[in-house]
C-alpha cells in the first residue's frame, strides 16, 4: 500500500476515495492527525496531513517520528511526500514539479532518529542517497506516461521555519548547492530510511525563494498557496494516480 504525506496546500488528495480513518497512538506521541485510508485508481492508499488537517502544526513542531511510525505500522510499501518549496535554480520557477535527489539539512532541535539513547545500540543508517532511486524512477515514468513535466533531480535544502528565509540565507544555500528550499524534508526522509520504507519527495515550487527574483519585493503566501493548488490539480494528482496504477501500492 502506498502512503502519501501531504504538505502545505496539499490537503486530502482530490482523487482519494475515502473508506475510513484511523487514530493511531505511537511510542513517540501523537501523529499530526488520523490516518485517512482510501483508494486511488482502485488501489489502496493511506494519507496523512503533515501539518494537521487544519494546517495548525508549524514545521519545527511536527512529530515526524510519530507520523512515520504510524504509517509503517500499516505495512506501507512506499512513501511519497508532497512538499511545497521555494525555487532557487533557474529552471525551478513557480508551478514547476520536481523530484529531488539530494538534501541539505539546516534544521536544529528536531528529533532525528527512532533510536533513542539507552533503548537501542547506536545505529548509523547509510544516507548517501537520501531518496529511494526506484521510487524516484517510478515517479518520473508516471510523469512521462501522463505527459506532466517533472524536473529530474535537485538538492532540497531544509530550513527550520516557520519564518521564510532572508535573501542572504538563500545566497548561502545556493552557494552550498541547494536548488530549492523547504521546511519539512528533514528529519522525515531519514526516519523513513531508518524504518526501511522506500521514500521520495514530489516537490511543488510555490514561489521564488527570497532574493532570487529581483522583481519580487516580497513573498506573498496567498499567491504561493494558489500556485500549489493549481499544481496539485494540474499534474500532481495525475502523477500519483499513474504511480499507483503502475504498482507502487
- Max Cα-Cα span within the chain: 53
Residue 120 is assigned to a ligand binding site: no
Residue 108 is assigned to a ligand binding site: no
Residue 209 is assigned to a ligand binding site: yes
Question: Are the C-beta atoms of 35 and 240 separated by less than 8 Å?
Answer: no
DSSP 212: T
Q: Please tell me whether the peptide bond between 187 and the residue prior to it is cis, using omega within 30 degrees of 0.
A: yes
Phi then psi for 17, rounded to 5 degrees? Answer: -90, 105
Residue 63 is assigned to a ligand binding site: no
Residue 208 is assigned to a ligand binding site: yes
Phi then psi for 58, rounded to 5 degrees? Answer: -70, 160
Question: Are the C-beta atoms of 90 and 139 separated by less than 8 Å?
Answer: no
Residue 175 is assigned to a ligand binding site: no
The Cα 118–Cα 55 span in angstroms is: 34
Phi then psi for 46, rounded to 5 degrees? Answer: -120, 140
Residue 92 is assigned to a ligand binding site: no
Question: What would the grid cell of residue 202 be?
Answer: 514530489
In degrees, rounded to 5, the angle at the alpha carbon of residue 44 between the alpha carbons of residues 38 and 46 is 60
Residue 184 is assigned to a ligand binding site: yes
- Residue ranges for the known binding site are 8, 50-51, 183-184, 207-209
- Residue ranges for the known binding site for substrate are 183, 207-209
- Residue ranges for the known binding site for phosphate are 8, 50-51, 184
Amino acid at each position: 500500500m502506498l502512503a502519501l504525506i501531504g504538505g502545505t496546500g496539499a490537503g486530502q488528495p482530490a482523487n482519494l476515495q475515502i473508506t475510513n480513518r484511523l487514530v493511531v497512538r505511537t511510542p513517540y506521541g501523537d501523529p499530526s492527525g488520523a490516518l485517512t485510508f482510501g483508494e486511488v485508481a482502485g488501489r489502496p492508499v493511506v494519507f496523512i496531513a503533515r501539518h494537521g488537517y487544519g494546517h495548525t502544526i508549524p514545521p519545527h513542531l511536527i512529530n515526524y517520528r510519530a507520523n512515520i511510525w504510524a504509517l509503517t505500522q500499516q505495512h506501507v510499501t512506499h512513501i511519497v511526500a508532497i512538499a511545497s518549496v521555494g525555487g532557487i535554480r533557474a529552471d525551478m520557477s513557480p508551478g514547476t514539479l520536481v523530484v529531488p535527489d539530494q538534501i541539505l539539512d539546516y534544521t536544529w532541535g528536531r528529533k532525528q532518529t527512532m533510536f533513542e539513547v539507552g533503548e537501542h545500540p547506536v545505529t548509523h543508517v547509510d544516507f548517501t542517497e537520501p531518496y529511494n532511486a526506484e521510487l524516484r524512477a517510478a515517479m518520473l515514468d508516471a510523469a512521462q506516461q501522463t505527459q506532466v513535466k517533472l524536473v529530474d533531480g535537485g538538492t532540497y535544502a531544509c530550513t527550520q521555519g516557520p519564518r521564510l528565509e532572508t535573501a542572504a540565507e538563500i545566497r548561502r544555500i545556493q552557494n552550498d548547492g541547494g536548488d530549492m528550499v523547504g521546511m519539512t524534508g528533514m528529519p522525515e526522509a531519514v526516519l523513513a530510511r531508518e524504518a526501511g520504507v522506500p521514500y521520495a519527495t514530489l516537490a511543488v515550487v510555490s514561489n521564488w525563494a527570497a532574493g532570487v527574483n529581483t522583481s519580487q519585493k516580497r513573498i506573498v503566501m496567498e499567491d504561493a498557496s494558489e500556485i500549489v493548488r493549481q499544481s496539485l490539480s494540474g499534474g500532481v494528482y495525475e502523477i500519483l494516480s499513474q504511480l499507483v496504477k503502475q504498482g507502487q501500492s
